[in-house]
């Protein structure tokens, strides 16, 4: 029996990292939104490592923040440690990473959701979608509740037909022994979706009281207070350290001896696992010349003594995990509180999606997160906010929002997924971005706040603060490029002290700043700004001036690509009728249905000649149309 339970603009299935951002974005934009999740205690749950950010991922968190999302603000309120990584490298690859208090993170996020107007949070298991003439118009839960909606977002994580594998044991389950979602997966198949089977895993957790930390190395957080959100003004100063230890010969020989009991090698696991997140048994087998592997001990929160054993992801049987742990220095007497496991789940082939994350199979249906073949909280949240935005925009009758590869890592992520697909759980890496000098963590606000404001996710007061910062950066850059420094004693002395070569002539302050040994601080000493500038403004000026040449080069590349992005391909194009296209190109173009020539050029098997031919074909149509008028 079913019953009518309510009408919404947007229904979001799932409340993990993708679901939370999707629900919040849609509701904040003014769409009446419902979030349904199997277990309300699992909102924003972190089933694996207790950390957020890191290279590429940390930049995504800032991008989410600049668009008006929640992940950055939430981790700023709930972390136990924060570190800036890659500080010795260029500005493009610096990245913030936080160790989360998992429990705080969840409860804080849940509270924000409950406090958000237009947003209803509900426990329930969606089993079917209501689809009329290829358009999704609502969902039905296990208990028969029918929720009508203009658009629906699915963010099911690893719940779809999830199966936990632990040694010889295999059972139907979502992450952390939650109820899996089985009927929805079958229903998606019925609707015509192509599903793939992926695998991921998590390491055991141990009791902090039973760790001998004296045998490990301390890994403290940064002393400088840091935050992900551009809006965060209060910082957590009381931080907890992580600890580093290593596996050894004994650990490795234990793995060798028990390999026959590993579901990875016995053939029990069929799903494709991610290369960047290998299990310890994988690492030992594939890199057997390595005498040791790093193991980081990461606290899961302030109100728990559970410790996450990073580096020991495994699906070996429980008794073997126990032995492995105890072979590691510092863990000789450790008590394992939860064992590690592998989990297999269904995902859809993401080439079935448009760049808006709407599915090509069913209209008004969007998907985000692990269901799209990704892995990682940040990747999920980044897609979540975009799916939420587009589901919201569509429900409100507005134009969609698509971020390009030069706008954001989120743009890179989505474009990769929908254009190239993925054969393993997808993780963002800095190397996936061709314009990473433009996609820095320090300028995410400059890149995206405007967009966030235009779709109603950035409130006016925050927008004004942003504009003021932007103006201040421009003004200071302008000042430095007009002030000429003479080779005075003071100037020469400062240059000498930095090991640079002395001036022969006067030099523009901006040009002096471009020298590798110079920083904004040095320039400031010689020619201070009249107004007091915030640290982030100084940093921005320094980066923009110092790397101007390289940034300019990247911008030119983007400009060239924009022309290709602007050449739109109509949805009804008949690739079969275009003579000259290579067969492989035809096949792939028909499957991916690219929206622009630029996207077409990124599809595998489509070469530059195919693009030229396509361009001529499109122009021919355009010219023909104009001349018919």
Partner 1 sequence: MEFDTIAAISTPMGEGAIAIVRLSGDDSIKIANQVFRSIGGKRLTEVPTHTIHYGHLIDPKNEQVIEEVMISVMKGPKTFTKEDVVEINCHGGIVSVNRVLQHVLSYGARLAEPGEFTKRAFLNGRIDLSQAEAVMDLIRAKTDRAMNVALGQMEGRLSKLIRGLRQEILEILAHVEVNIDYPEYDDVEEMTHKMLLEKAMYVRDELKKLLQTSQQGKILREGLSTVIVGRPNVGKSSLLNSLVQENKAIVTDIPGTTRDVIEEYVNVRGVPLRLLDTAGIRETEDIVERIGVEKSRQVLKEADLILLVLNYADKFTKEDENLFEAVKGMDVIVIVNKTDLTQQIDMDRVKELARDHKIVTTSLLEDRGVDELEEAISSLFFAGTIDAGDMTYLSNSRHIALIGQSLHTIEEAITGVEMGTPIDIVQIDITRTWELLGEVIGESVHESLIDQLFSQFCLGK
467 binds partner 1 (CB under 8 A): no
Q: Which residue, 187, 192, 178, 195, is CA-closest to 140?
A: 187
**Footprint of partner 1 on residues 66-85 (CB under 8 A)?**
85
Q: 504 to 523, contacts with partner 1 by CB under 8 A? A: 516-517
Interface with partner 1 (CB under 8 A), residue from 278, 329, 456, 487: 278
Residue 250 in contact with partner 1, rule: CB under 8 A: no
Kindly indicate which of the ranges 13-21, 118-126, 264-272, 427-435 contains the residues binding partner 1, using the contact rule CB under 8 A: 427-435
Can you read off the two tokens belonging to residue 491?
């100037």
Q: Which of 300, 309, 37, 33 lies closest to 157, judged by CA?
A: 37
Task: Indicate whether 374 belongs to the interface with partner 1 (CB under 8 A).
Answer: no
Binding of partner 1 at residue 313 (CB under 8 A)?
Answer: yes
**Min separation Cβ 24 and partner 1, Å:** 28
Q: Which residue is listed with tokens 């990875």?
A: 264
Using the rule CB under 8 A, which residue among 6, 30, 47, 90 binds partner 1?
A: 90
Q: For residue 496, state whether it binds partner 1 (rule: CB under 8 A).
A: no
Residues in contact with partner 1, shown as a per-residue x/- string from 547 to 586 under the rule CB under 8 A: x--x--xx-----x--x--------------xxx------
For 540, the token pair is: 């921005």
Nearer to partner 1, 319 or 517 (CB): 517
CB 278 within 8 A of CB 313: yes
Distance separating alpha carbons of residues 368 and 371, to the nearest angstrom: 6
State yes or no: residue 629 binds partner 1 (CB under 8 A).
no
Stretch that binds partner 1, among 187-195, 254-262, 403-411, 429-437 (CB under 8 A): 429-437
Stretch that binds partner 1, among 13-21, 231-239, 336-344, 434-442 (CB under 8 A): 434-442
Q: Pick from 142, 170, 261, 293 the residue near partner 1 by CB under 8 A.
A: 293
Exposed e or buried b for every residue in 345-381, given b needs 16+ CB within 10 A?
bbbbbbbbbbbbbbbbbbbbbbbbbbbbbbbbbbbbb
> Residue 329 interacts with partner 1 (CB under 8 A)?
no
150 binds partner 1 (CB under 8 A): no
Q: Binders of partner 1 among 580-599, rule CB under 8 A?
A: 580
| Structural contact between residues 373 and 350, judged by C-beta atoms closer than 8 angstroms | yes
Q: Which of 2, 41, 89, 454 binds partner 1 (CB under 8 A)?
A: 89
457-489 burial string, b = 16+ CB within 10 Å, else e?
bbeeebeeebeebbebbeebbeebeeeebeeee
The residue among 93 and 483 lying less far from partner 1, judged by its C-beta, is 93
Helix (H) or strand (E) holding 305: none
Size of the site for partner 1 (CB under 8 A): 60
Q: Which of 33, 37, 49, 406 binds partner 1 (CB under 8 A)?
A: 49
Nearest distance in Å: CB 409, partner 1: 13
Site string for partner 1, 182-221 (x = CB under 8 A): ---------------------x------------------
- Of 264, 277, 451, 480, which lies in the binding site for partner 1, with binding defined by CB under 8 A? 277
Contact in structure between 174 and 181 (CB atoms under 8 Å)? yes
SS3 labels along 567-629? CECCCCCCHHHCCCCCHHHHHHHHHHCCCEHHHHHCCCCCCHHHHHHHHHHHHHHHHHHHHHC
Quote the CA–CA distance of 365 and 617 in Å, as a whole number.
Answer: 32
Kindly report the backbone phi and psi dihedral angles of residue 316, in degrees, each rounded to the nearest multiple of 5, phi listed first: -65, 160
Which residue reads 């022994």 in tokens?
177
If one asks whether residue 224 binds partner 1 (CB under 8 A), the answer comes out as no
Whichever of 302 and 553 has its CB closer to partner 1, that residue is 553
429: contact with partner 1 by CB under 8 A: yes
Three-class secondary structure of residue 346 per DSSP: strand
Least distance to partner 1 from the beta carbon of 580, Å?
4
> Of 284-292, 331-339, 353-361, 362-370, which part binds partner 1 (CB under 8 A)?
284-292
Q: Verify binding: residue 37, partner 1, rule CB under 8 A.
A: no
Q: Quick one: which segment of 59-67, 293-301, 386-394, 591-599 binds partner 1 (CB under 8 A)?
A: 293-301
Can you tell me which of 16, 19, 50, 55 binds partner 1, judged by CB under 8 A?
A: 55
State the nearest-atom distance from the C-beta of 437 to partner 1, in Å: 6
The residue from 214, 237, 431, 628 that contacts partner 1 (CB under 8 A) is 431
Dihedrals phi, psi of 595, to nearest 5 degrees: -90, -20
N- to C-terminal Cα separation, the chain: 57
- Rounded to 5 degrees, φ, ψ at 444 are -55, -40
Helix and strand numbers (H, E) in the chain are: 21, 22
Contact 89, 120 (CB under 8 A): no
| CA distances from residue 20 to 33, 227, 257 in whole angstroms, order as listed | 11, 20, 43
Render 391-421 in DSSP notation, one character per residue: HHHHHTT-------TTT-HHHHHHHHHHHH-
Residue 36 CA to residue 143 CA, distance in Å, equals 13
Binding segment (CB under 8 A) for partner 1, from list 173-181, 260-268, 586-594, 610-618: 610-618
Indicate whether 484 belongs to the interface with partner 1 (CB under 8 A).
no
607 binds partner 1 (CB under 8 A): yes
Q: Which is nearer to partner 1, 246 or 463 (CB)?
A: 246
Instruction: Give the closest residue to 340 by CA, choosing from 206, 201, 178.
Output: 201
For partner 1, the closer of residues 89 and 111 by Cβ is: 89
Q: Of 53, 204, 241, 311, which lies in the binding site for partner 1, with binding defined by CB under 8 A?
A: 311
Binding status of residue 497 toward partner 1 by CB under 8 A:
no
Q: Rounded to whole angstroms, what are the CA distances from 370 to 94, 157, 162, 374, 380? A: 26, 5, 12, 5, 6
The two tokens of residue 130 are 């209501």
- Verify binding: residue 487, partner 1, rule CB under 8 A: no
Among 111, 215, 270, 275, binds partner 1 (CB under 8 A): 275
Contacts to partner 1 by CB under 8 A: 49, 55-56, 85-86, 88-93, 203, 274-278, 283, 286-287, 290, 293-294, 296, 310-311, 313, 420, 429-432, 434, 436-437, 516-517, 547, 550, 553-554, 560, 563, 578-580, 604, 607-609, 612-613, 615-617, 619-620, 623-624, 627
């Amino acid at each position: 029996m079913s019953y009518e339970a309510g009408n919404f603009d947007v229904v979001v299935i799932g409340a993990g990292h993708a679901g939370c951002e999707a629900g919040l974005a849609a509701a904040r934009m003014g769409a009446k939104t419902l979030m349904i999740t199997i277990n309300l205690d699992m909102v924003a749950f972190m089933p694996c490592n207790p950390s957020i950010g890191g290279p590429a991922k940390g930049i995504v968190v800032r991008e989410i923040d600049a668009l008006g999302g929640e992940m950055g603000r939430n981790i700023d309120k709930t972390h136990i440690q924060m570190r800036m990584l890659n500080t010795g490298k260029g500005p493009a690859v610096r990245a913030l990473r936080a160790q989360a208090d998992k429990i705080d993170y969840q409860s804080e996020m849940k509270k924000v959701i409950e406090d958000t107007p237009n947003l209803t949070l509900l426990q329930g298991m969606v089993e079917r979608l209501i689809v009329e003439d290829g358009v999704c118009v609502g969902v039905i839960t296990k208990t028969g509740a029918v929720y009508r909606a203009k658009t629906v977002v699915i963010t099911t994580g690893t719940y779809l037909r999830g199966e936990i594998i632990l040694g010889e044991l295999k059972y139907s389950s979502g992450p952390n022994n939650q109820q899996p979602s089985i009927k929805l997966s079958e229903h998606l198949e019925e609707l015509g979706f192509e599903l793939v089977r992926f695998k991921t895993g998590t390491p055991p957790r141990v009791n902090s009281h039973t760790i001998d930390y004296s045998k490990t190395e301390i890994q403290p957080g940064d002393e400088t207070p840091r935050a992900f959100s551009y809006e965060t003004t209060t910082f957590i100063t009381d931080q907890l350290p992580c600890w580093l230890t290593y596996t050894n010969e004994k650990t490795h020989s234990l793995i060798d001896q028990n390999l026959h009991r590993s579901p990875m090698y016995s053939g029990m696991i069929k799903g494709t696992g991610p290369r960047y997140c290998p299990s310890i048994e994988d690492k030992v087998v594939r890199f057997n010349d390595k005498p040791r592997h790093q193991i980081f001990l990461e606290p899961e929160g302030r109100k728990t003594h559970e410790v996450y054993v990073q580096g020991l992801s495994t699906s070996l049987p429980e008794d073997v995990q126990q032995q492995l742990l105890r072979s590691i220095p510092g863990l000789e007497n450790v008590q394992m509180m939860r064992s590690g496991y592998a989990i297999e789940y269904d995902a859809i082939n993401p080439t079935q999606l448009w760049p808006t994350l709407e599915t090509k199979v069913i209209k008004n249906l969007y998907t985000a997160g692990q269901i799209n073949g990704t892995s990682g909280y940040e990747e999920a949240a980044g897609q979540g906010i975009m799916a939420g935005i587009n589901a919201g925009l569509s429900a409100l009758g507005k134009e969609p929002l698509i971020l390009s590869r030069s706008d954001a890592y989120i743009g890179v992520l989505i474009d990769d997924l929908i254009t190239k697909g993925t054969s393993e759980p997808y993780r963002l890496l800095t190397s996936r971005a061709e314009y990473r000098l433009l996609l820095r963590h320090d300028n995410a606000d400059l890149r995206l706040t405007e967009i966030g404001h235009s779709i109603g996710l950035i409130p006016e007061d925050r927008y004004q603060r942003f504009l003021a910062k932007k103006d201040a950066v421009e003004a200071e850059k302008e000042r430095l490029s007009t002030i000429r420094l003479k080779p005075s004693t003071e100037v020469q002395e400062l240059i000498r002290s930095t090991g640079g070569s002395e001036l022969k002539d006067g030099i523009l302050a901006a040009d002096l700043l471009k020298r590798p040994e110079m920083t904004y601080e040095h320039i400031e000493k010689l020619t201070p700004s009249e107004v007091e500038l915030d640290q982030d403004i100084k940093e921005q000026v320094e980066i923009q001036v110092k790397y101007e040449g390289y940034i300019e080069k990247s911008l030119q590349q983007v400009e060239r690509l924009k022309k290709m992005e602007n050449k739109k391909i109509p949805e009804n194009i008949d690739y079969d009728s275009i003579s000259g296209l290579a067969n492989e190109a035809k096949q792939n173009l028909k499957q991916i249905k690219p929206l622009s020539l630029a996207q077409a050029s990124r599809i595998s098997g489509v070469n530059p000649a195919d693009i030229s031919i396509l361009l001529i074909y499109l122009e021919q149509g355009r010219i023909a149309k104009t001349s018919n008028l």
